[in-house]
Amino acid sequence: KCLAICDYVISKRIKEHSRHLYDLHKIYPNISFDDEMSLLFKTIIKKRNDKKIGHQYDVQMKIYEQFENIINNDIYKEDYEEVTKRICIKQIEYEDVIKSIIRIKDDLQKYDI
């Protein structure tokens, strides 16, 4: 989900993809971001790079920087309000979802991912 929202921003395909933010918001309370999760991220990024899946995340590009861009520029806000929020059974405000995205960004940054 984290890599997907970054891929869509880089490829400028935001429309109908804000659902990943909602999913991350719902998933986040149930995961522990620790050394094991950090290793999982790094392994997935390496495999994606090796297979040229999605956008390439070289050592210069950090996922947390893409998250900062998403957060600071409300990149998914319009799509969330117009698409995702309308299809969810339990309506969750964009601002609440972004609070979870900020926490995920902080975890990614802590592990320099």
Q: In 11-93, which residue ranges form alpha helices assigned H by DSSP?
A: 19-27, 35-51, 63-72, 77-79, 85-87
How far does CA 21 lie from the centroid of its chain? 6
The one-digit pLDDT tens for each residue of the chain (113 residues) are 999 999 899 889 999 999 999 999 999 999 999 999 999 999 998 888 887 766 655 556 799 999 999 999 999 999 999 999 999 888 999 999 999 999 999 999 999 99
pLDDT of residue 57: 57
Distance CA 77, CA 94 (A): 7
pLDDT of residue 60: 65
Distance CA 108, CA 113 (A): 5
**One-letter amino acid of 68:** E
